Amino acid sequence: MLRNHRHLPPLNSLRAFEATARQGSITRAAEELGVTQSAVSHQIKALEAYTGVTLLDRRGNSFTLTPAGLRTMSSLREGFDLIADAVANLDTPEIRGEVVVSCPPAMTALWLVKNIGPFLLKHPGIRLGLRSSTSWKAVIGSDVDLCIRYGTGIWENRRTTLLSEVDLFPVCSPSVAAGLHSPADLRNVPLLYAIDDNEWDSWLSSINMNELPRMRHYMGNDFAMIETAVNGFGVAMGDSVTCRHYLESGTLVAPFPERKKSNFSFYLIERSNSEKKLAVLCTRDWIVANFITKINGLPD
């Protein structure tokens, strides 16, 4: 849901609370802001009245932050840091810095490297470090700025942005599809998978196919699985995101109409409490916008 930023609380109230929470003292916050203690207290009470949430647990002349206050402090501190960075770089001719992105092999080959060129030309100060990988170590790695992964979207101490939900369905070359007249014919062909074969079991169960085919091959990663199917060997468990390019070109076809909604989706993952470099933020925004237009098929 889009938020109407015209309905934000007054900036002075936000600044007063952030300074108080960071300093741990209304007196020190007032000194930092160059106003009186009563003015700071008034602004915080105004913010609490505006939100309807208690931010400070007041006890005489001292206070502690409520759980809502702790959450708000963290977000405001990050927000004010971003504003400060933006202002400090107003006269900077270009955004500069290294950005390390980890992306699954198929998404790297079929989407990222095909589309990121104009972005890098527009921002010559950004130096991309691309890692084509499905390793989960990259998600928690201190040297990776942005990760694209297929999963639940729940990663501890990480911020996630949903890029696309996923439908699952078999895909194969047109020549293989010619011999598949019903899902029962899958018993006669090799089934290919990239991570594990649970998605095959899930799809087959969804169409009440109880005798599940056992001729299955693990192909190591999604790109290798798809390319194997493109070359006419077996049927891969495809999806609406990874296989989009092949389906549009006719290199792969979906031999059956049945689809099953996956329990997983594609997410952009980033550290939630790290210092945000402008180069990382710029790349992040491009990934989200380009994924929507190129992968989900929305108009540019």
Written as one string, the DSSP assignment of 120-163 is HHH-TTEEEEEEE---THHHH-TT-SEEEEEE-S--TTEEEEEE
On the question of pLDDT at 89 being above 70, the answer is no
Which has the higher per-residue pLDDT, 299 or 173? 173
On the question of pLDDT at 3 being above 70, the answer is no
The amino acid occupying position 285 is D
Report residue 295 as tokens. Answer: 């992968």
Residue written as token pair 């980890």 = 102
Range of 99-113, 144-158, 167-181, 198-212 with top mean pLDDT: 167-181
What's the chain's average pLDDT? 83
- Burial, 260: exposed, middle or buried (Cβ in 10 Å; 0-12, 13-18, 19+)? middle
Mean per-residue pLDDT, 276-299 = 76
Is the pTM above the cut of 0.85? Answer: no
Query: Going by C-beta distance under 8 Å and a sequence separation of 6 or more, which residues neighbour residue 193?
Result: 199, 200, 216, 217, 218, 219, 225, 236, 237
Among 174, 239, 230, residue whose Cα is nearest residue 200: 239
β-pair type (62-65, 56-59) = antiparallel
Among 268, 266, 263, 269, residue whose Cα is nearest residue 244: 266
What Rg value do the Cα atoms of the chain yield, rounded? 25
The amino acid occupying position 240 is S
Quick one: pLDDT band at residue 174, thresholds 50, 70, 90? Answer: very high
The pLDDT tens digits of the residues spanning 140-163 come to 666 888 999 888 877 777 788 888
On the question of pLDDT at 298 being above 70, the answer is no
CA distance 48 to 36: 19
The CA-atom distances, in angstroms, between 38 and each of 26, 42, 61, 239 are: 9, 6, 12, 59
Contacts 24+ apart (CB under 8 A), 133-136: 133/102, 133/103, 133/104, 133/105, 134/104, 134/105, 134/195, 134/221, 134/222, 135/102
Range of 133-137, 138-142, 159-163, 254-258 with top mean pLDDT: 254-258
pLDDT value of residue 4:
46
Residue 36, classed as helix, strand or coil, is coil
H or E segment to which residue 267 belongs = strand 260-271
Which has the higher per-residue pLDDT, 2 or 37? 37
Which has the higher per-residue pLDDT, 172 or 209? 172
Mean per-residue pLDDT, 33-57 = 88
